[in-house]
A and B are shown apart, each in its own frame.
Chain A
Amino acid sequence: MNTLRILPKYCCKKTQRFCRLPVSQNRFYARPTSFPDFFQNPVFRKEDQAKLVETTDLSKLAAVPVKPPAVYETCSAYHDPLVNKVINHVMEMGKKQLARSLVEKAFENIKRIQIERYHLASTAEEKNKIELNPKKVLHLAIENSKPLLQLSPIKRGGITYQVPGPITEKRSLFLAIKWLLEATNEKERTIHFPEQFAWELLDAANNTGKVVKKKQDLHRQCEANRAYAHYRWQ
């Protein structure tokens, strides 16, 4: 899987080109910050730093002021930008610690379920098939629930048509995470979020479940409305 595609926009230039965002080195801040525009984003991953040393861009960076890294930008061995993104989507009212603990508990549940399956499986082949890494399960689940097309309402002759069209990488990532969370929140009151989220992720990683069905429904709708496709440019 191409991990670069799911990096947040501020992490690398490749993504920025892909998302057609204005090419700027600045991290997106909701409020004005004390850092002027010419401050560079920090390079906080050890791999990236090694790359800088190799390409001798380091001397260039050494001369310009750099912003301090945010709390979640760590050089820890288990830093994952996508996980961070999901945590931010789960977060409500800025309670990040709670959101993080919820996502981590969901990971724990995934792990327990999968390890149990692993022990139950009889042959080595079956065992190899079971994905035990919860982060990989998350990546797979999101990859499987990303839509490839979208419907946009366009008004022609007084009638609003649902016109199919391509979707940006960023929007499809957003929709995938949003759908996963929506499916999770459609639960009984007695079931806890981490439990349900774990099940949804496992379902989506397995290419089944509510979210994948939703994606397929959207694709079907797009296919049905293909006759309107020309309205996008007419």
Chain B
Amino acid sequence: MLSRNWRHLCRRYSQAVTFRTTEASPAQQNEKQIGLFYTMNQETCKQLFSQGGFPKSFQKQTKTFTETAIMIRQPALDLINCIKSSDFNKPAIRYVLYGEKGTGKSLTMAHLLHYAHEDGYLIVHVPWVSEWLRRLPRSKEMSNSQTHEGCVDLPLDAASWLLHFKGQNQHILKTGELKVSKEYVWSKREKTEAGAPLAQLVEHGISRVKYACDVVDALIKEIKTLSHNKQCKTFVAIDGFNSFFYPVTRLSTPTKKKVKPEEVTLTTTFMELTKNDWTNAVILLSADQLAVPDDHQESHFPRYLLYKKGFEHLDPFVPVEVGRYSEKEFLSCASYYRDRLWLRGPPEIDTELKFTSACNPYRFMEQCAPL
């Protein structure tokens, strides 16, 4: 019994050397750690991703594995290096993540968010744009916008996003250093005065859901001016950004008229945010095939997914490809899954899985599931 346990321990330990790294701070990670997993702190994880941000399947894995481990990969390291060495007095640089389905664009974004969180950025993160434009739960609420002529508001979505924003930036909002620059009048009795802390504006949006969309609009404008005035640095991350440019959304008005994405107030707000007319910010976007319906998934390249309109809106941007696993990454991932008891069986299974999954991270994870 003892010898068996001992052997077990030895095996575990010998694997632990190869696929894990103790370097939990993304800013300190370097090229040597490519392909290794680092474990994210539970509390940070809860703060950043409790309201979404991880893909659903990954969320499930974290529960099964009882930890949140992310692989350190080349695109994320490149991006961190780029951000570190870029000049923040110049207009904001836009990075666009692209790649095949299931290669880890969202997880690369999560890695970068962790970096931004540690580096003290103000995070403006949209977990999944299609959640607003393409998903229709029963409780979807729509109303005509009071401030934008001919536009549609999504008050519930906007309010839940404000909650997400508040959760992610607790520590920055608590200090109350960020002030609102001008007065906003919502109704006869309600108004946010100039000089009030930013947290108050967010609170107002959450408690008065009716004005949530306008609050988001105001908040984004405030953030832009604040970071332009060097009062904070901002990290914008929007997953599934190309969803804003697909010609129609799933939403329809009570008169059965299909809503176009540019007729949604949230779209105009985030279009404004992704322009490069401000400084002291990083803008990270992703173009994902899964964000648009099946008929527009032929290619994973940004020009195809963003359409001409989106491409011209973002131009110039830095494309960052997230690819499939390399040999080394695959090996480390397989040994990680073995350690977490997700993959078992003889070692020849690895080679077989490598062929059948074509080194695609998501497919590899999925094919390990029934084994």
Listed in ascending order, the chain A residues whose CB lies under 8 Å from chain B are: 76-78, 103-105, 107-108, 111-112, 115-116, 118-119, 124, 132-134
Residues 248-278 of B contacting A (Cβ, < 8 Å): none
**Bound-state Cα–Cα, A162 to B104, Å:** 62
Quote the shortest CB–CB distance from A123 to chain B (angstroms). 11
CB–CB B64/A132 < 8 A = no
CB–CB B352/A108 < 8 A = no
CB–CB A77/B369 < 8 A = no
CB–CB B341/A104 < 8 A = no
Q: Is B66 an interface residue (CB 8 A)?
A: yes
Question: A115-B64, A116-B64, A134-B370 in contact; A77/B346 too (CB < 8 A)?
Answer: yes
Question: A76-B352, A77-B349 in contact; A133/B344 too (CB < 8 A)?
Answer: yes
A sample of 17 inter-chain contacts (CB < 8 A) reads A77-B345, A77-B348, A77-B349, A78-B352, A105-B369, A108-B369, A111-B370, A112-B60, A112-B64, A115-B340, A115-B342, A116-B64, A118-B341, A119-B66, A124-B5, A132-B341, A132-B344
Knowing that A111-B342, A116-B63 are A-B contacts, what are 16 other residue pairs whose CB atoms are under 8 Å apart, sorted by A's residue number?
A77-B346, A77-B349, A78-B345, A104-B369, A104-B370, A107-B369, A107-B371, A108-B370, A115-B340, A115-B342, A116-B64, A118-B341, A119-B66, A132-B341, A132-B344, A134-B370
| A103 cross-chain contacts in B, Cβ below 8 A | 370
Quote the shortest CB–CB distance from A223 to chain B (angstroms). 39
Instruction: Tell me what chain A mostly uses at the interface: helix, strand, loop, or mixed.
Output: helix
| A116 cross-chain contacts in B, Cβ below 8 A | 63-64
Residue in B5, B370, B371 with the greatest tally of chain A CB atoms within 10 Å: B370
Quote the shortest CB–CB distance from A53 to chain B (angstroms). 19
Listed in ascending order, the chain B residues whose CB lies under 8 Å from chain A are: 5, 60, 63-64, 66, 340-342, 344-346, 348-349, 352, 369-371
**Bound-state Cα–Cα, A103 to B5, Å:** 33
**Bound-state Cα–Cα, A76 to B371, Å:** 12
| A107 cross-chain contacts in B, Cβ below 8 A | 369-371
Q: How many A-B residue pairs have CB under 8 A?
A: 39
**Bound-state Cα–Cα, A115 to B340, Å:** 9
**Bound-state Cα–Cα, A91 to B204, Å:** 55
Considering the complex, give the chain A residue whose CB is closest to the CB of B347. Answer: A77
**Bound-state Cα–Cα, A103 to B66, Å:** 25
| A76 cross-chain contacts in B, Cβ below 8 A | 352
| A119 cross-chain contacts in B, Cβ below 8 A | 66
Instruction: Select one of B63, B340, B349 contacting A78, CB under 8 A.
Output: B349
Residue in B63, B341, B348 with the greatest tally of chain A CB atoms within 10 Å: B341
CB–CB B369/A111 < 8 A = yes
**Bound-state Cα–Cα, A18 to B319, Å:** 65
Quote the shortest CB–CB distance from A162 to chain B (angstroms). 40
Quote the shortest CB–CB distance from B364 to chain A (angstroms). 14
| A112 cross-chain contacts in B, Cβ below 8 A | 60, 64
Residue in B64, B346, B349, B352 with the greatest tally of chain A CB atoms within 10 Å: B64
Considering the complex, give the chain A residue whose CB is closest to the CB of B352. Answer: A77
**Bound-state Cα–Cα, A124 to B1, Å:** 10
Quote the shortest CB–CB distance from A83 to chain B (angstroms). 9
CB–CB A78/B64 < 8 A = no
Considering the complex, give the chain B residue whose CB is closest to the CB of A125. Answer: B1
Quote the shortest CB–CB distance from B272 to chain A (angstroms). 43
**Bound-state Cα–Cα, A105 to B344, Å:** 17
Q: List the 4 shortest-distance A-B pairs measured between CB atoms, nearest first.
A: A104-B370, A107-B370, A108-B369, A77-B349
| B66 cross-chain contacts in A, Cβ below 8 A | 119
| B341 cross-chain contacts in A, Cβ below 8 A | 115, 118, 132
**Bound-state Cα–Cα, A107 to B345, Å:** 15
| B349 cross-chain contacts in A, Cβ below 8 A | 77-78
